[in-house]
């Protein structure tokens, strides 16, 4: 795969949005690398990461881009699948510096994902994981156009973003309904397959109740927490019907 004619040491691109500046402040530490799987947060993160990796299928001889890679933890998971190449890009110079340190097996570049320096049709698979919620609606079409340029014609984009069942937090611009998620990269891409992730309803209520019993001010029952996060959550709450989901994960193909 051809790579940009740039070194990995770029100045932070100008013109960051308010949500980008907020996110930049969170990269005091590479916080994704500090997430423990056997926690409520870890069950969710590893849950959608695993769905995204499963959706990508066979990585053999594939050139893969993690667009909006942050501190590179998910990029490092991609690398364990042994693709031909794995590349990460993010607007945050601070996040990329962590990624280069902690995931040296991948290539990283500081770039805005609506204006990339890669040649046309460079990648077979692009991941866009928890990125679109940070992007103003007016910017999504520019991103889609640029990703369409660098994706091969038979390639796929794997996207994840929060649904309307999750409250919008300060660093997010918007969350998505099923319809707005499926059209998030229009007119350049169409959703080929979408699943719900991180379920709601009585099963989630039961999960949280048992979690409070297992971990509270009086005790921490580690075997119970291991069961809840590594068996109960993956089986009952990770991959769920769309109308019960706090997040969507989808495969997109060129229109």
Q: What is the mean pLDDT of residues 130-135?
A: 96
Average pLDDT taken over every residue of the chain: 92
For 11-69, the pLDDT digits (tens) are: 434 555 556 665 676 778 899 999 999 999 999 999 999 999 999 999 999 999 999 99
- Percent of the chain residues past pLDDT 70, beyond the cut: 91
Query: What confidence score (pLDDT) does residue 93 get?
Result: 94
- Global confidence as pTM: 0.90
Q: How confident is the model at residue 4 (pLDDT cuts 50, 70, 90)?
A: low
Per-residue model confidence as pLDDT tens digits over 90-108: 999 999 999 999 999 999 9
CA angle 222/46/87 to nearest 5° reads 140
Mean pLDDT, range 219-238, rounded to an integer: 98
* Per-domain residue ranges of the chain: 18-196+247-254
pLDDT per position as a tens digit, 154-197: 999 999 999 999 999 988 999 999 999 999 999 999 999 999 99
Give me the pLDDT at residue 17, please: 56
Burial of 110 (0-12, 13-18, 19+ CB in 10 A): buried
On whether the CB atoms of residues 156 and 64 are closer than 8 A, the answer is no
Which of the listed CATH numbers 3.30.830.10, 3.40.50.150, 2.40.160.40, 3.40.50.1000 matches domain 18-196+247-254?
3.40.50.150
pLDDT at 201 over 90: yes
Cα–Cα dist 251/185, whole Å: 11
Question: Residue 28 has what pLDDT?
Answer: 83
Q: What is the DSSP string of 39-60?
A: SHHHHHHHHHHHHHHHHH---T
Statement: residue 229 has pLDDT above 70: yes
At 8 the pLDDT is 41
């Amino acid at each position: 795969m051809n790579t940009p004619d740039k070194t990995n040491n770029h100045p932070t691109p100008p013109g960051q949005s308010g949500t980008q500046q907020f996110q930049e402040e969170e990269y005091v530490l590479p916080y994704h690398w500090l997430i423990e799987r056997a926690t409520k947060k870890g069950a969710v993160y590893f849950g959608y990461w695993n769905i995204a990796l499963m959706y990508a299928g066979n990585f053999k001889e594939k050139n893969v881009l993690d667009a909006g890679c942050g501190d590179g933890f998910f990029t490092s998971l991609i690398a364990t699948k042994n693709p031909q190449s794995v590349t990460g890009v993010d607007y945050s110079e601070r996040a990329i510096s962590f990624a280069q340190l902690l995931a040296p097996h991948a290539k990283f570049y500081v770039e805005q994902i609506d204006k990339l320096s890669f040649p046309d049709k460079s990648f077979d698979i692009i991941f866009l994981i928890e990125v679109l919620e940070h992007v103003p609606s007016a910017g999504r079409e520019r991103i889609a156009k640029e990703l369409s340029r660098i994706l091969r014609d038979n390639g796929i984009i794997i996207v994840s973003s929060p649904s309307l069942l999750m409250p919008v937090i300060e660093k997010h611009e918007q969350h998505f309904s099923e319809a707005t998620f499926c059209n998030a990269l229009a007119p350049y891409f169409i959703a080929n397959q979408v699943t719900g992730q991180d379920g709601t309803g009585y099963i989630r209520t039961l999960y949280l109740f048992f979690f409070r019993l297992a971990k509270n001010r009086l005790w921490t029952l580690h075997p119970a927490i291991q069961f809840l996060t590594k068996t109960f959550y993956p089986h009952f709450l990770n991959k769920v019907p769309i109308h019960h989901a706090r997040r969507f994960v989808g495969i997109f193909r060129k229109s």
